């Protein structure tokens, strides 16, 4: 039987640490080609194109009886397939992210509990994935575009990144942060998140009624 703590330490050593805007740190491993292919096949099986035979239009001015056009020549079929391609693309991105994130700080269960209310709020507004962890990534941990970009860059095999460095790499933000300042900002966010997580846990345990739960970190 393997040593779970040893395996976890090895995973963290081999992974790329990405510090997110929220203060959460995710450990990301590059995805090998076979994993990407498997995810692509899985998504294509989940989101099938409609039966093309139902969208064959009669071929105009054809000398052949009952001749039809290819389904791809039907604008309605094209529109349906384009919508499915969009869903496939979104699903593929999130499955790749979920496969690439091998560890988080704080732990996954704590994050699921912490963001549960946010996830439920978004369920009333948009299509949210049924899987609890995937929904937490979608609506809580990675709801900032720079964070999503950072994780994708990491599992594509880029070097270690921080939130501030990703912002630097995106010209439309027009923000110039040094590596030192971006690290300081990420650390500040991490302290703030840990404080909010601690408060949330105390409230869930019924320990927050009228008690001082500590001073918010600076």
Instruction: Compare 190 and 155 and report the one with higher pLDDT.
Output: 155
Q: How many domains does the chain have?
A: 1
Is residue 209 assigned to a domain?
no
Please report whether residue 35 resides in a domain: yes
**Per the domain annotation, does 218 fall within a domain?**
no
At 3 the pLDDT is: 52
Is residue 212, in this structure, part of any structural domain at all?
no
**pLDDT for position 62:** 75
213 found inside a domain:
no
Across 107-114, average pLDDT: 93
Task: Please check the confidence at residue 43 and state whether its pLDDT lies above 70.
Answer: yes
pLDDT at 146 over 60: yes
Band of pLDDT at residue 217, cut at 50, 70 and 90: low
Residue 135 belongs to a domain: yes
Angle of CA points 154, 130, 162, to nearest 5°? 20
| Domain coverage including residue 192 | 4-204
User: Which of 39-48, 136-145, 183-192 is predicted least confidently?
Assistant: 183-192
> Quick check: is 66 in a domain?
yes
* Residue 46 within any structural domain of the chain: yes
pTM metric for this prediction: 0.66
pLDDT at 213 over 90: no
The residues pairing with 28 across neighbouring beta strands, listed in sequence order, are: 16, 101
């Amino acid at each position: 039987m393997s040593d779970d703590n040893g395996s976890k330490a090895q995973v963290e050593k081999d992974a790329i640490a990405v510090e997110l805007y929220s203060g959460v740190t995710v450990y990301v491993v590059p995805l090998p080609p076979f994993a990407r292919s498997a995810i692509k096949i899985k998504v294509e099986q989940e989101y099938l194109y409609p039966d093309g035979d139902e969208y064959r239009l009669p071929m105009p001015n054809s000398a052949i009886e009952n001749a039809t056009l290819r389904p791809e020549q039907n604008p309605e079929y094209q529109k349906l397939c384009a919508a499915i391609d969009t869903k496939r693309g979104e699903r593929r991105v999130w499955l790749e992210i979920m496969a690439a994130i091998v560890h988080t700080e704080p732990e996954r269960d704590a994050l699921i509990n912490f963001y549960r209310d946010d996830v439920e709020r978004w369920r009333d507004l948009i299509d949210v994935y049924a899987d609890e962890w995937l929904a937490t990534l979608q609506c809580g941990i990675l709801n900032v575009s720079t964070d999503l970009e950072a994780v994708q860059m990491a599992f594509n095999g880029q070097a270690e990144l921080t939130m501030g460095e990703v912002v630097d790499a995106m010209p439309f933000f027009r923000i110039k942060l040094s590596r030192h300042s971006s690290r300081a900002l990420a650390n500040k966010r991490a302290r703030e998140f840990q404080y909010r997580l601690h408060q949330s846990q105390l409230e869930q345990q019924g320990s927050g009624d009228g008690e001082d739960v500590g001073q918010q970190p600076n």
